[in-house]
Amino acid sequence: MTTSDQPRDERFLQLVYRLPTGTSRARVAVWRELKRLGALYLQQAVCVVPDRPGVRERLEKIRARLDELGGEGLIFVLTDIEERERKVIVDALRENSAKEYAEIVEECETKFFKEIEFERFRENYTFEEAEEIRQDLEKLRRWLRKVEERDWMGAPGRQDAHAKVAECEQLLEQFEADVYERAQEQTPP
């Protein structure tokens, strides 16, 4: 999907906030929540998100959190955005999601695949190891779902990430089959 495919009348929400100076704990907590939401920082303490179902409610919760932390936040609805600025926002949001999809692919290739390869090398065919690797697969799936939730602009890489996670599942299923087979061999008749 290209920038021109985005609806010209799509609205964005802009959050401008301020927190008291002092410890960075509050700033980091707010930053983390905004990144989880998928917010695009335009500059320090100024970010935007598309005005989509559920997003406004989450942004309102972040604003309430700002109040709790002794700060303040203002939410503006951006409706009439010049095409140049719209392109900058859409492209940056798309790029953020594409990077996250690439990180998932990298995590599959550099950690998940290698973990199974290492356990095979060690001949560590135990139920416990298979279960631990299964938990790693579930983490990858949750991460992919979260990235998809905040991929509002149809970033490239989604299919690649899905394919790699599916490949992880295949490798794990093969490993689990080997664990089962070895367990059967060790069971007395």
* pLDDT score at 183: 87
Could you tell me the pLDDT band of residue 21, with boundaries at 50, 70 and 90? confident
Evaluate if residue 104 carries a pLDDT over 60.
yes
* pLDDT score at 38: 95
78: left (phi over 0), alpha (psi -120 to 50) or beta: beta
Evaluate if residue 1 carries a pLDDT over 70.
no
- The number of beta carbons lying within 10 Å of the beta carbon of residue 35 is 14
Percentage of the residues of the chain whose pLDDT score is greater than 70: 95
Question: Three-class SS of residue 172?
Answer: helix
Residue burial 85-116, b: 16+ Cβ < 10 Å; e: rest: ebeebbeebbebbbebbeebbebbeeebeebb
Could you tell me the pLDDT band of residue 5, with boundaries at 50, 70 and 90? low
Which residue carries 């299919």 as its tokens?
Answer: 159
Mean pLDDT of the chain: 93
Evaluate if residue 115 carries a pLDDT over 50.
yes
Q: 166: burial class by Cβ within 10 Å (0-12, 13-18, 19+)?
A: exposed
User: What does residue 148 show for φ and ψ, rounded to 5 degrees?
Assistant: -65, -35
Taking the whole predicted model, whether its pTM rises above 0.95 is answered as no
Contact assessment for residue 119 and residue 182, using Cβ atoms and an 8 Å cutoff: no
Evaluate if residue 28 carries a pLDDT over 60.
yes
> Please, what is the end-to-end C-alpha distance for the chain in angstroms?
60
